[in-house]
Amino acid sequence: MMYPKPFLDYLVYFHANYDYFECHEVLEEYWKEAEESQRHPVWVGLIQLSVGLYHERRGNYAGAKKMLLSSRNYLMAEAESVRQLNIDYDQLAADISNHIHTISTILNSEPEQAQHIQVLFQPIKIPFFDQQIHELIQKRSEELGISWQQPEFTEPYIIHKHKLRDRSDVIAERQNQIKRKNS
């Protein structure tokens, strides 16, 4: 099966260095570039999965729960499309549900109890039926210069990327948009 390159990139960032922010960026760009009629909801579900995990790892449990619930709903509605990507939908849905349960436990505990709950973030592995995709992801990770499945997923820059990345191009574009509106 041929997989879109942005999907393989998403999987590299998802599995190799757990850069969920970059997962979101690369797949969202692919989704936005498609004709509106071709914007497949399965991509939205995967984008939201990475955003939910990004929030969870940072301790934003309310945001994580919201995104993971939405992700699960998108993926559930697109279960056949998920399977066509050779993803084990049932296992992925169960893994997402387990994260939602853990987050709900934290959110539903009394504030004094919540302080004592220590949850070590555990990444989700997207389970595949097709072994070939593992080989494709590993090859793509080499092309991107990213070591495959680094055991460390607590690197501060990746955890807080939305705050620490260079945003000068985004800020400049926003200023240009404001100028255009005001002209």
**Could you report the per-residue pLDDT of 118-172, keeping only the tens digit for each?**
567 888 999 999 889 989 999 999 998 888 766 555 666 566 666 555 555 655 5
Segment among 1-5, 33-37, 48-52, 164-168 with least mean pLDDT: 164-168
Q: Which helix (H) or strand (E) covers residue 133, if one does? A: helix 131-144
Cα–Cα nearest to 75, from 26, 123, 124: 124
Q: In DSSP terms, which residues pair with 128 in a beta bridge?
A: 87
Using DSSP's 3-state secondary structure scheme, residue 89 falls into helix
Within 10 A of 149 (CB to CB), how many other CB atoms are there?
15
For residues 33-58, one letter each, b for 16 or more C-beta atoms within 10 angstroms of the residue's C-beta and e for the rest, the string is: eeeeeeeeebbbbbbbbbbbbbbbbb
Query: What is the chain's mean pLDDT, rounded?
Result: 85
What CA–CA distance (Å, rounded) separates 17 from 118?
23
Residue 179 pLDDT exceeds 80: no
More confident residue, 161 or 95: 95
The domains located in the chain, with CATH, are: 5-182 (1.10.3450)
pLDDT attached to residue 183: 77
